Amino acid sequence: MQWYSGPEGDQRIWYEPEDIEQIATEQLRNADLVPTLDDPVTNVERLIEGHLHAELDLYAELPDGVLGLTDFPARGAPKVLIDSALTEARDAENAPVGAVGRWRATLAHEASHIFLHRYLFDPEMAQLAGRSAVAVPSEGGLMRCLHRDISAAEADWGSVRRRSDWREVQANRAMAALLMPRRLFRRLALREMGRLGLGTSTVAVPDVEVLTALLADVLQVSKQAARIRLDSESLIAWD
């Protein structure tokens, strides 16, 4: 973790991709919420409320296009608000895995903002992290996460320092690590590949859709998220 100044002089935090993977894993371990082969679905609500000690409102009335919002007040616990329509889609009978995955991704994204970016709004934590001041230490701040912000898509990490949405890119990386922890994800993928007779180390491109759908269902994430994780973990044989 390093502090640096953005193009407009704003204070930013730099994390290497591997740092974010490790931080997310530590959060799960410290919360005693590390998913297993027998119970592979991360309990994100418990992570937010029980471990991060944030207030959670799952039925908030948010502006159009805003899926989630994290409020860092000047004093007190962070508040995580999730759009009511998103939660209602999750609550629907026979809700598709896409709706459930989108809801879980939003919660994990907001949780990631808390443990990655609270330093920007909390002067005491900023000092612990080696910074004597933050941009708005007495005012708190809001992190509004739009539909376009919450995505499992891999970013060009070399450009993240200069991007205006750098915090969203970092939160998306942590989101994937929370919902699909690397060690568990690889074990699940290899196990299911063996069961389906799709290979022992990588899956061929024509079979990716089958494996993706299975992993998405098991982990309760979107198919897009599962496919991107397969690719980032070099489990797809592109040749």
What pLDDT score was predicted for residue 15? Answer: 93
H/E segment holding residue 66:
strand 66-72
Q: Taking Cα atoms as reference points, which of 216, 219, 214, 212 lies closest to residue 235?
A: 212
- pTM: predicted TM-score of the whole model, two decimal places: 0.89
Q: Scanning the structure block, which residue is given the tokens 């009978």?
A: 93
Q: Indicate left, alpha or beta for 197 from its phi (over 0: left) and psi (-120 to 50: alpha).
A: left
What pLDDT score was predicted for residue 52? Answer: 97
What pLDDT score was predicted for residue 120? Answer: 83
What pLDDT score was predicted for residue 158? Answer: 58
Mean pLDDT of successive 10-residue segments in the chain (239 residues)? 82 91 98 97 98 97 92 88 97 95 96 92 64 49 66 62 80 96 97 94 95 97 95 92
C-alpha to C-alpha distance for 100 and 102, rounded to whole angstroms: 5
What pLDDT score was predicted for residue 148? Answer: 62
Q: Show Cβ contacts of residue 29 under 8 Å, excluding neighbours closer than 6 positions.
A: none
What pLDDT score was predicted for residue 155? Answer: 58
What pLDDT score was predicted for residue 75? Answer: 78
